[in-house]
Amino acid sequence: MKDLKERGLENQVKGTAKEMKGKIRGNLGDATDNSSEHIKGRAEELKGKIQKNFGKGERKAAPDNV
């Protein structure tokens, strides 16, 4: 089982990747004037930011850092 620090790092990395993917998808929606893709991209970007910040919190809460 992964410890809190490892899970936090994993969530940070996955969140950052999801955030970038969403940003690209949203920008592509803007470029093609497709509002549906724009909204989906921005939603994915927001989910990525939340996951990334959750990972940061996990890493700070790890027993090593307390």
Read off the pLDDT of residues 17-61 as tens digits, 9 standing for 90 and up: 999 999 999 999 999 999 999 999 999 999 999 999 999 999 999
**pLDDT for res 64:** 79
* pLDDT tier for residue 66 given thresholds of 50, 70 and 90: low
Backbone angles phi, psi at 13, to 5 degrees: -65, -50
- Read off the pTM: 0.87
d(CA 55, CA 31): 32
Q: Flag whether pLDDT at 11 surpasses 90.
A: yes
Dist. CA 66–CA 62, nearest whole Å: 7
Question: Average pLDDT, stretch 5-28?
Answer: 97
